Structure 1
Amino acid sequence: MRLAVLLASALVAGCTLATSPAPESPAPRGLTPDGEGLQPAGTDLRIDFGRAQDGVIDAVTRLLGQPPADITRNPECGAGLVTAAYWPNGLTLNFTQGDFTGWVVTEPGLATAGPLAVGQLPPAVAMEETTLGREFERNGVWALVEDGSPEISALWSGTTCFFR
């Protein structure tokens, strides 16, 4: 009888373990900047312009797996006082009055919706000559091709007072 109880207990314990849910895989990391803000990888949720600075910085820190390398303020921007959070991958997020108002990408590796990426050749589009070089826009994302270079050197959308 005692053996039957032990076998029954082991069988129930084994069934319980077998029906336990498998551990969840980690959430995807990364994001795609676009003309309306940021699209986190693996979700339909968005981080659009107008969101609160602290929440945006926390979310992007989780998505990129690291905090910003620096947070700086520029009172001399044409848009007013702008706070910028810089990540080592070349992403800068700009905030005005505590709201997410723009982003800038200045390093290869982070493609935007479209897709456009720093370091790639620009598509065949009409470009506007500016004091910085040649610029073009696609779906709310602006790109800069500096004079003397055939490749895109910066991408941005929204408020853009900071380039690093």
Structure 2
Amino acid sequence: MAAARGRVAIACTVALGMAVLSACAPSGKSAGPSGDLILKPDGLGVAGTGLEIGFGRAQAGAVQAVTRVLGEPPGGSGSLPACSGGSLATVNWAGGFSLAFRNGDLRGWHSGAGRVATASGLRVGGSYPGVGPADGSFDSGGVRGRLGDDGRIAALWAGDICPG
């Protein structure tokens, strides 16, 4: 009887551990391929999972989550001292993707390369749907962007960020 209870306890512990670990990565595949990160006006999402990395999230958790999805650690950090509302700390990944933090909280993101996209498919290097604005800047449901001289999207950002 005691042995049976022990086997049940071990089985429950293993099942609980597997459930906890499965919540750490997108379901059905291991995290890592770029393109899984979805640019949103209020933060970031992870494609196919319903998981979100919202503005206001602590820097350590946001950096860890983005690193897991992109499959690589950040390549550097910096600061944007001239922003309205005070300076922002940045964490940057290869390929032109950055997160911006103020007082340790996620405040914005910036994409300068086509590595990530919005749920509707807007990405740097892609086409802007319809006629581009005369001044080259646009707002698509809270995701802001800038068109290059070639008419393609040159940058995307959301939140409290100072785009270059």
TM tier, smaller: 0.7 to 0.9
What is the alpha-carbon distance in structure 1 between the residues aligned to residue 58 and residue 71 of structure 2?
20
Cα distance in 2 between the residues matched to 1:43 and 1:76: 36
For 2:161, the equivalent position in structure 1 comes to 160
Give unmatched runs, 5+ long, in structure 2: 1-21, 23-27
What are the equivalent positions in structure 2 for 1:1-164 lying under 5 Å apart? Answer: 26-29=29-32, 30-125=36-131, 127=133, 129=135, 134-146=136-148, 148-161=149-162, 163=164
TM-score, normalisation: structure 1: 0.75
How many aligned residue pairs are there?
136
After TM superposition, give the deviation of residue 125 of structure 1 in Å. 4.8
Deviation track 1:22-42 (CA, whole Å, cap 9, x = no partner) reads xx8643433111111110133
Letter in 1 for 2:158: S
Shift of 1:162: 5.1
Q: Deviations over 1:79-136 (max 9, x none)?
A: 312001111122111111111011111112311122201111211156262xxxx111
Give the Cα separation in 2 of the matches to 1:81 and 1:150: 31
Q: Considering only CA atoms, is the larger Rg found in Structure 1 or Structure 2?
A: 1
The answer on whether the counterparts of 2:132 and 2:151 sit within 8 Å (CA) in structure 1 is no
What TM-score do the two structures reach when normalised by structure 2? Answer: 0.75
Q: What CA distance in whole angstroms lies between the structure 2 residues aligned with 1:78 and 1:128?
A: 25
Query: Per-residue displacement from partner, 1:4-58 (whole Å, max 9, x unpaired)?
Result: xxxxxxxxxxxxxxxxxxxx86434331111111101331121111110111001
Distance in 1 separating the partners of 2:134 and 2:143:
14
- Quick check: 1:114–1:138 contact (8 Å CA) kept in 2? no
